[in-house]
Amino acid sequence: MAMLDVSALLERRLSPGYWSLLARVSEAAADAGVRAYLVGGSVRDMLLGSAPAEMDLAIAGGPDDTLDSLAARLGGAVRSASQFGTAMIESSGILFDVVRTRRESYSRPGALPTVEFTSSIEEDLPRRDFTMNAVAVSLDRDSWGALLDPFDGRRDLEAKQVRVLHPRSFVDDPTRILRAARYAARLGFGFEDETARLLTDGLGYLGAVSGDRIRRELERIFAEDRVAAILELAEERGLPRAIHPALTLGGPLAARLGDGAAPSPAALLAALAFHASDAARDGLAQRMRLVSDWAQAVRGVGKVKARFGPLSRAELDASDLYALMADVHDGAAEACALATDDDCIHQRIQRFRRDLRGVRPILDGRDVMALGVPAGSPVGEMLHALLNARLDGLVSSGEDEKRFVRQRLGAASSTPPSHTRHSTATIAADSKYPPIGGHP
């Protein structure tokens, strides 16, 4: 059967830089005695009428060092590579993904594949996830622009539907479930009927996938422009809870994402776990093998929620808001602002993150000692009082801060011998603006 020639489409859709890259890849592949193809999402996007956002290439044939040899022939370098025959190559300022054509088999559901390299693109395309991605365009000199579409991916693109290649697709690699939701919502597609059934049946296999792989798929979802639509589709299909019982898309979170909120990935995951218990969030962190910001954001949600009472007080000075939130991880604060249904708490957390978190006095410890504050704990007390004064708008310049220090010192020197047993440190805990340097 004659193949469709899409060379004119290539020329229309590709930027000059990408067009030049493909021409050079074609020459380098011919010199190396291998075949080169544009594959996957790059072809899909062109068939949909869009310029590809990135280049995905496949190389058929050649020895184990084929990708290194190709990079050298392009005057570029391999920036990263894996044992699965994939690499990221940079040439003339363009970074692109290249794979060696291969067959894959799976020892159990959710396992990483066993790879067997092949010299045939026809043997490579069946390992891919969906019909719309199992497409390739030849870059060979004698067949430049020929479209390979063995699973009628163009038909499914025209029908606006996501279709898997075979019944075990979601069993072999359950992360394809997350990719199915991502593609469907991004493109405004539905699921082909049998694919929808297989997706539902395959949800239980997500538990067999490592936390690292699940987290990487979630990062891709969180980076999408239409993340709200993707998460709504995922919630409708039961994906979050299939990943972990702590995850759910609440109404306020969905609404704020739909209104254009663009949280950090760590905060978004923590927001999805907002309604869970502390123990469930800790279980999520362990399941996903979270580290650094992700772990602190997820585990810190409970700390913020425990302070919702004082955060919702009718009157709350900026310094009091700062005291409530200063020790909270920003990802946890952002998550709670996203997911809470209390608009007052939402506004106050956002005010802290936007306006207060970075506030600091102009004067430092040496400055206040030069003004007469005794060394030791009084310095810390004065700096704390200065911070509160700046937060509450009592000072706005360095001169204001100096006057503030002198006033506190003056108040301390005029305080009569103690009528209380409190130490200066205890007084600091009782008032935001105590006299500094007095004596018990």
Q: Does the pLDDT value for residue 60 go beyond 50?
A: yes
| pLDDT, position 413 | 57
The domain boundary, picked from 114, 142, 159, lies at 159
The answer on 44 and 144 residing in a single domain is yes
What's the pLDDT band for 193 if we cut at 50, 70, 90?
very high
Read off the pLDDT of residues 134-190 as tens digits, 9 standing for 90 and up: 999 999 989 999 999 999 999 999 999 999 999 999 999 999 999 999 999 999 999
- Output 183-189 pairs: Cβ under 8 A, ≥24 positions apart: 183/130, 183/132, 184/233, 185/224, 185/226, 185/229, 185/230, 185/232, 185/233, 186/224, 186/225, 186/226, 186/229, 186/230, 187/48, 187/160, 188/160, 189/160, 189/161, 189/162
Domain count, the chain: 4
Encoding tokens for residue 308?
A: 């919702």
Residue 322 has pLDDT above 70, yes or no: yes
Do the domain assignments include residue 440? no
Last residue of a domain, one of 111, 128, 159: 159
CATH number of the CATH domain containing 210:
1.10.110.30
Instruction: Render pLDDT for 211-251 as a digit per residue (tens, 0 to 9).
Output: 999 999 999 999 999 999 999 999 999 999 999 999 999 99
On whether both 128 and 111 belong to a single domain, the answer is yes
436 located within any domain: no
Closest CA to 329 of 267, 272, 279: 267
Give the C-alpha separation, 98 to 77, whole Å: 12
Provide mean pLDDT across the span 262-275.
97
What rounded mean pLDDT belongs to the chain?
A: 91
Q: What is the pLDDT of residue 422?
A: 33
- d(CA 374, CA 434) in angstroms, rounded, equals 15
Same domain, residue pair 100 and 13: yes
Evaluate whether residue 259 is within a structural domain.
yes
1 in a domain, yes or no?
Answer: no
Bigger pLDDT: 416 or 372? 372
Percentage above 70 pLDDT, the chain: 93
pLDDT > 90: percent of the chain: 82
pLDDT at 332: 98
131 close to 152: Cβ distance less than 8 angstroms = yes
Look at residue 385 in the predicted model and tell me its pLDDT: 95
The answer to whether position 257 is within a domain reads yes
Query: For residue 277, is it within any domain?
Result: yes
Task: Decide if 299 contacts 326 (C-beta within 8 A).
Answer: no
Q: What are phi and psi of 116, to 5 degrees?
A: -130, 115
CA 358 from chain center: how many Å? 24
Q: Is 281 exposed, middle or buried (0-12, 13-18, 19+ CB in 10 A)?
A: buried
Q: Are residues 130 and 29 in the same domain?
A: yes
Q: Tens of pLDDT along 352-362?
A: 999 999 999 99
* pLDDT interval class at 437 (50, 70, 90): low
349 in any annotated domain: yes
d(CA 28, CA 116): 24
pLDDT digits (tens, 9 = 90+) for 407-434: 999 876 554 443 333 333 333 334 677 6
* Residues 270 and 400 reside in one and the same domain: no
Q: How far apart are CA 186 and CA 183, in angstroms?
A: 5
Q: What would the DSSP string read from start to end of 166-213? A: STTHHHH-THHHHHHHHHHHHHT-EE-HHHHHHHHHHGGGGGGS-HHH
Of 3-17, 151-165, 273-287, 403-417, the range with the lowest mean pLDDT is 403-417
Q: Can you tell me the distance from the alpha carbon of 384 to that of 20, in angstroms, rounded to the nearest whole number?
A: 61
Q: Are residues 101 and 70 in the same domain?
A: yes
- DSSP code string of 36-70: EEEETHHHHHHHTT---SS-EEEEES--TTHHHHH
Does residue 438 surpass a pLDDT of 70? Answer: no
Q: Are residues 202 and 331 in the same domain?
A: no
Neighbours of 2 (CB within 10 A): 5
Please give the pLDDT value at position 248: 97
- Are the beta carbons of 49 and 60 closer than 8 angstroms? no
437 assigned to some structural domain: no
Report the C-alpha gap between 412 and 417 in whole angstroms.
10
Of 243, 276, 311, the last residue of a domain is 243
Domain that holds residue 164: 160-243
pLDDT, position 85: 86
